[in-house]
Structure 1
């Protein structure tokens, strides 16, 4: 099977444009590499020499080990790039050292994260989600996109840009709050709170009708704009669309509950529309040559959010730490755009690491870990919308815990840079056959 220098299949299905783009053949989505190759993005996250310092210390065990092993950062980059290519990976995932992409004998595509919304939120410490209604938000997004993307606009190696990482769209492992209640609990002068109240006023003719659903202690819209905190009268059965049938049943049994969640779902749709429209247009103004590959959804949001993402993005990206991503892929693919699994992993308890902090399933052995990778990727590739998968991550985390306490066996290599043979041998075999397996998805369309 003849491949381009990028790792794409050179079978004349598509024409090259000098940059990565999206293609479709027989109802199956593909990426198209700069030379016209039929391409799937097979990536590894956090490919970097200075991965994971221990807690709040300055110690980076992986860098210490690699300095002894390779002698220099330059030598490590070349070794890491060639090793990834030997495992049939073709992409550097999030948080990677982009210089690795050109350090080996074959180029690796890069997928940096612009952190547009997150960087705005960090200016407003009381925000969990960036206030898209703030008059300063559009200017910040445009300037951030310009600073991050303009310098890369002519790079063939750039596959595309992630807008953000795991923003809080809806209840997930971080909390039970709705985006609407978060905005209603901003300080009274914040534009997001004002906008949230205005939208509720539009949905209800009288404050008494609103209060029959929300049960606040306010007696008027004016008073509601000054009180706090606003407490949610109901909570989801489970986050991420996992219990849609139970949600529907509960709402049918309680029209007041249904009205509350209808308010929440309508609001998050407005926020998503503003967020994706502003961010995507800003990136494309700064860099018209490359794909905009989503905001790495951390947990499946409401269909309204996915639909808004699909209206603007080239590729919808999401992180999924299940044993099988098939149902989640279907939920995102409903928007009609190709999908990229931007983060997944499995960790094994025979690694000697605590594995007490970190996402995703734990298994007993490295053999089982490799089997989980094969089952997960093989099932994903049978979905016509999938155009790539990025493993989290390159090296194991320190046993003492990194900045957020994670201490898990996510690596393709140990913290001493020793290769996990069972995992990487399976990765090599699956990656090599990925395009053939994905092409067979046409038979199920």
Structure 2
């Protein structure tokens, strides 16, 4: 199997254009590397010397260990880049030191995040989701994209750019609110609140009809606009195969709940379409040469959000912390776009870390961890729409907990930079076979 300098498989039917792109061949999606190779993005997140402070202190145990071991940042970069390539990884994932990508003999692709929506949300600190209806939103993300993306526009090693990470689209581990109720609860006269109220007014003939569904304390549209906290009359389960079936059953049994669900779904569809349209156009204006890799969905969002993402993105990215990613991959396949798994991992309880906080399954041993990696990746590569998978993350977290308290065995190396041999040997073998496995995937429903 001949490979390009990027690690892609040489295919006589393909040509490079100097940048990464996506293509479909015989019903199977691929990245195409700058030299024309069929490319599966095999990545690791947070490849950086200064990974994970203890809490919010100045202590960075991994950096302390690597400074003692390597003596300099540049030596660490070169050694780490060579090590990743030896494990047959070809991409450094989100939140990585981009200099690692070109520090050794094998070129690695990079995948930074522009954090467009997140930066606007932080600019308006009373927002949980960025107010895409705010006229300042478009100006803000265009300026942010210009700052964060323009300087990379001629970089052949840039696989593409993530827009954001794990925005709140629907009920998940962070809360039970719908996007519609979050926007209804914005301060008075905020554009997002006005848009939410306007959408409801256009749908219902009169306020009494609306209130028969929503059961608010208001007696008019004007009074609803002044209420500081609208409480959703129902709490929906987060989207997913089983939960969707339960929601459908609940809606069939209760027409009022069905009407509430329809209101929420209609609004999130409008928000998603506006968010992806504005963000993709902002990034493309700053950097027309590279792919937009999506917003790293933290959990499977409503179907209308997936559909909107498919209308605007080059690649849909999502995080999936399950043993079997198949059902989640199938849900995103409905958008008929290539998909990148931007985070997944398994934690071993024999690593000596608490594993008390952090996403994803825990297993007893490193051997089980390696088997879980293989099962997950082989399943993913068997799906025609999957074009990459990024492991979370490079090094273990501090036992004392990082800034958000996570204290888990996510690493390919310990916090002292000792390699997890069984895991990385399995990674090397599976990564080397990735293109062959994916080539055998059944055609996508395009």
Scaled by the length of structure 1, the TM-score of the pair is 0.99
Counterparts of 1:332-343 in structure 2, within 5 Å, are: 332-343=332-343
Q: Which residue of 2 aligns with 1:99?
A: 99
User: Against the structure 1 CA distance between its residues 444 and 127, is the aligned structure 2 distance closer, same or farther, given a 3 Å change threshold?
Assistant: closer
| DSSP 3-state at the match of 2:440 | helix
Checking the alignment, whether the CA contact within 8 Å between 2:240 and 2:328 is kept in structure 1 is no
1:110 correspondence with 2:110: yes
| DSSP 3-state at the match of 1:282 | helix
| DSSP 3-state at the match of 1:225 | helix
| DSSP 3-state at the match of 2:22 | strand
User: Shift of residue 236 of structure 1?
Assistant: 1.1
Q: Which residue of 1 aligns with 2:280?
A: 280
1:221 correspondence with 2:221: yes
Q: Which residue of 1 aligns with 2:15?
A: 15
User: Shift of residue 241 of structure 1?
Assistant: 4.9
Q: Structure 1 stretches of 5 or more lacking a match? A: none
> In 1, Cα distance between the equivalents of 2:165 and 2:240?
16
User: Shift of residue 239 of structure 1?
Assistant: 4.3
Checking the alignment, whether the CA contact within 8 Å between 2:384 and 2:443 is kept in structure 1 is no
User: Shift of residue 13 of structure 1?
Assistant: 3.1
> In 2, Cα distance between the equivalents of 1:374 and 1:248?
35
Counterparts of 1:169-208 in structure 2, within 5 Å, are: 169-208=169-208
Checking the alignment, whether the CA contact within 8 Å between 2:321 and 2:343 is kept in structure 1 is yes
User: Shift of residue 301 of structure 1?
Assistant: 0.4
1:231 correspondence with 2:192: no
User: Shift of residue 11 of structure 1?
Assistant: 2.3
Output one character per residue of 1:62-88: Cα deviation in whole Å (capped at 9) or x when no partner.
000000100000000000000000000
> In 1, Cα distance between the equivalents of 2:292 and 2:444?
28
Output one character per residue of 1:236-274: Cα deviation in whole Å (capped at 9) or x when no partner.
134445411111110000000000010000000000010
Counterparts of 1:229-378 in structure 2, within 5 Å, are: 229-378=229-378
| DSSP 3-state at the match of 2:395 | coil
Output one character per residue of 1:100-158: Cα deviation in whole Å (capped at 9) or x when no partner.
00001111000000000000000111100000011100000111111111000000000
Output one character per residue of 1:392-422: Cα deviation in whole Å (capped at 9) or x when no partner.
0000000000000000000000000000000
Output one character per residue of 1:215-250: Cα deviation in whole Å (capped at 9) or x when no partner.
001111011100121000001134445411111110
235-244 or 150-159, larger mean C-alpha shift: 235-244
> In 1, Cα distance between the equivalents of 2:135 and 2:437?
48
> In 2, Cα distance between the equivalents of 1:420 and 1:237?
37
> In 2, Cα distance between the equivalents of 1:74 and 1:237?
48
Which aligned runs of 4 or more in structure 1 are off by greater than 2 angstroms? 237-242, 442-445
Q: Which residue of 2 aligns with 1:140?
A: 140
> In 1, Cα distance between the equivalents of 2:28 and 2:62?
40
| DSSP 3-state at the match of 2:357 | coil
> In 2, Cα distance between the equivalents of 1:138 and 1:226?
27
Checking the alignment, whether the CA contact within 8 Å between 2:18 and 2:35 is kept in structure 1 is yes
Checking the alignment, whether the CA contact within 8 Å between 1:43 and 1:89 is kept in structure 2 is yes
1:25 correspondence with 2:25: yes
> In 2, Cα distance between the equivalents of 1:172 and 1:17?
41
1:69 correspondence with 2:69: yes
> In 1, Cα distance between the equivalents of 2:37 and 2:112?
22
Matched residues, number: 445
User: Shift of residue 90 of structure 1?
Assistant: 0.1
> In 2, Cα distance between the equivalents of 1:135 and 1:289?
27
User: Shift of residue 190 of structure 1?
Assistant: 1.3
| DSSP 3-state at the match of 2:84 | helix
Counterparts of 1:49-88 in structure 2, within 5 Å, are: 49-88=49-88
User: Against the structure 1 CA distance between its residues 444 and 292, is the aligned structure 2 distance closer, same or farther, given a 3 Å change threshold?
Assistant: closer
Scaled by the length of structure 2, the TM-score of the pair is 0.99
Q: Which residue of 2 aligns with 1:435?
A: 435
> In 1, Cα distance between the equivalents of 2:169 and 2:240?
10
Checking the alignment, whether the CA contact within 8 Å between 2:239 and 2:302 is kept in structure 1 is no
User: Shift of residue 442 of structure 1?
Assistant: 3.3
> In 1, Cα distance between the equivalents of 2:366 and 2:175?
32
Output one character per residue of 1:136-183: Cα deviation in whole Å (capped at 9) or x when no partner.
000001111111110000000000000000000001111111000011
> In 2, Cα distance between the equivalents of 1:163 and 1:41?
18
> In 1, Cα distance between the equivalents of 2:444 and 2:245?
26
| DSSP 3-state at the match of 1:24 | strand
| DSSP 3-state at the match of 2:226 | coil
| DSSP 3-state at the match of 2:182 | helix
> In 2, Cα distance between the equivalents of 1:385 and 1:443?
9
Q: Which residue of 2 aligns with 1:211?
A: 211
Q: Structure 2 stretches of 5 or more lacking a match? A: none
